[in-house]
Amino acid sequence: MNKIVLITGATSGIGLACARKFAENGDKLILTGRNEQFLTDLRQELTAKGTEVQILVFDVRDREKAKQCLDELPAEWQDIDVLVNNAGLALGLEPEYEGSFDDWDTMIDTNIKGLLTITRLIVPKMVERNSGHIINIGSVAGDAAYAGGNVYCATKAAVKALSDGLRIDVAPTAVRVTNLKPGLVETNFSNTRFHGDNDRAATVYKGIKPLTGDDIADVAVYAANAPAHVQIAEVLILATHQASGSVIVRK
The 10 Å CB-count burial string (b at 16+, else e) for 152-164 is: bbbbbbbbbebbe
Catalytic residue (choose from 146, 152, 205, 222): 152
122 near 83, Cβ under 8 Å? yes
CA separation for the pair 91, 146 (Å, rounded): 14
CA dihedral 193, 82, 71, 127 (to 10 degrees): -120
CA separation for the pair 160, 50 (Å, rounded): 35
Q: Could you please report the per-residue DSSP string of 97-150? A: GG--HHHHHHHIIIIIIIHHHHHHHHHHHHHHHT--EEEEE--GGGTS--TTTH
237 near 181, Cβ under 8 Å? yes
Nearest to 140 by CA among 245, 246, 240: 245
Residue-level length of the chain: 251
Nearest 5°: CA angle at 156, between 150 and 161? 120
State yes or no: is 152 an active-site residue: yes
Q: Which residues carry out catalysis?
A: 152
